[in-house]
Amino acid sequence: MFESIQKWEPDVVPRHIYMWERIRGFPLHICNEVCFEGIFAKLSNLVKVDDETSSLSILEFARLLVRMEISFTISSHKRVQVKGGIYLVSILLRRL
């Protein structure tokens, strides 16, 4: 996935990367694209929810493709509040 293609020059530096996030700890009743977009809007841009996550074929984790700034770092655990519940979720990032 490329935003643009241009001739390389020393001062051309990418600002964003695409990564797959694996998220554990979400209860099934809140696993949907709207929920993921809201929770991770501050961290990155949601590009795609994995088909197996959308269909609930895999219940162990949710898998999301996100676009984030290269300089951004993320902790491996995060507390999120959704529909009155507070959940501790675990996030594993995989660079494309």
Is the torsion defined by CA of 77, 35, 70, 20 positive or negative?
positive
pLDDT given for residue 51 in this prediction: 92
Tens-digit pLDDT profile for residues 23-76: 888 777 777 787 777 776 666 788 898 999 888 888 888 888 988 877 655 556
The pTM (predicted TM-score) of the whole model is 0.63
DSSP states along 7-37: ---TT----EEEEEEEEE---GGG-SHHHHH
